Amino acid sequence: GAGVSQSPSNKVTEKGKDVELRCDPISGHTALYWYRQSLGQGLEFLIYFQGNSAPDKSGLPSDRFSAERTGGSVSTLTIQRTQQEDSAVYLCASSLVSGDNQPQHFGDGTRLSIL
Amino acid sequence: AQSVSQHNHHVILSEAASLELGCNYSYGGTVNLFWYVQYPGQHLQLLLKYFSGDPLVKGIKGFEAEFIKSKFSFNLRKPSVQWSDTAEYFCAVGLGGYQKVTFGTGTKLQVIP
């Protein structure tokens, strides 16, 4: 069945450029997360969307990072004026929402390399 | 805000050794608890979860975890590891469906044949 889809799978860009990463969650999943995974840093939470509620942006590392989720489905993570330290794998996950936290389904990630 | 601690960052074991990975969290209320695994080159996937009921939870591939409320812990165990268990393991804690889940920093397990 269709899982969480992320695109592109790999992105190489020059320092200072803007990048957009896309996430298509599983249909019907109202919760969507973005994480960053880099060597030695584990899994770093970036932002959380839940339905029509205001997103939890507490994990965004700087104002160069932003994300939106249009129509409660597809999400894009934008990094402006990229820096070399932004190089990482960016993961998206989605889940159903009920009274209990439901398991997250992860995409394969976008590997971002800043030259 | 809740926090999740995984004290072991890197664990090396020989095949057939027993495994216990620690996970502690900081919230005192009702929690939902998870362990996820990421095998080399694969995406993160759920290993097991605890919502309520029996505090000893069994997951896939012979893994289990025990929720000890008094210790705020949810340690992952396996009696006898295999080389194929080499992976990174993440503990995660949620405070209920409408609040986000917080992940620990992960533990890399390396099993030597």
Dihedrals phi, psi of B29, to nearest 5 degrees:
-95, -160
Of A48, A106, A108, the CB nearest to B100: A48
**Segment B46-103, tens digit of pLDDT:** 999 999 999 999 999 999 999 999 999 999 999 999 999 999 999 999 988 778 899 9
Band of residue A18 on the pLDDT scale cut at 50, 70, 90? very high
Which amino acid does the sequence have at B58?
K
Phi/psi at B69 (nearest 5 deg)?
Answer: -60, -40
Residue pLDDT, tens place only, B31-43: 999 999 999 999 9
Look at residue B99 in the predicted model and tell me its pLDDT.
83
> Across residues A47-64, what is the average pLDDT?
93
**3-state class of B7 per DSSP?**
coil
Residue among A93, A91, A34 nearest A67 (CA): A34
Query: What is the percentage of chain A residues whose pLDDT exceeds 70?
Result: 98
Q: What is the pLDDT of residue A11?
A: 97
Q: Tokens 């340690």 belong to which residue?
A: B75
A48: closest CA of chain B, how far (Å): 7
Interface of A with B (CB under 8 A): 31, 33, 35, 41-43, 45, 48, 50, 53, 56, 58, 91, 93, 97-104, 106-109
Residue in chain B lying closest to A4 (CA): B43
Task: Write down the mean pLDDT value for chain A.
Answer: 93
Report which of residues B42 and A1 the model is more confident about.
B42
In this predicted structure, which of A70-74, A75-79, A109-113, B15-19 has the lowest mean pLDDT?
A70-74
**What is the mean predicted confidence (pLDDT) over A107-111?**
96
Q: What is the mean pLDDT of residues A3-14?
A: 96
Tell me the two tokens of residue A109: 């990630």
* Residue B60 DSSP SS3: helix
Reported confidence tier of residue A26, pLDDT bands at 50, 70, 90: very high
Set of chain A residues whose Cβ sits within 8 Å of the Cβ of B106: 42-43
Query: What pLDDT is stored for residue A1 in this prediction?
Result: 54
In this structure, what are the phi and psi dihedrals at residue A83, rounded to the nearest 5 degrees? Answer: -120, 160
**Per-residue pLDDT at A60 exceeds 80:** yes
**By C-alpha distance, which of B24, B27, B45 is closest to B35?**
B45
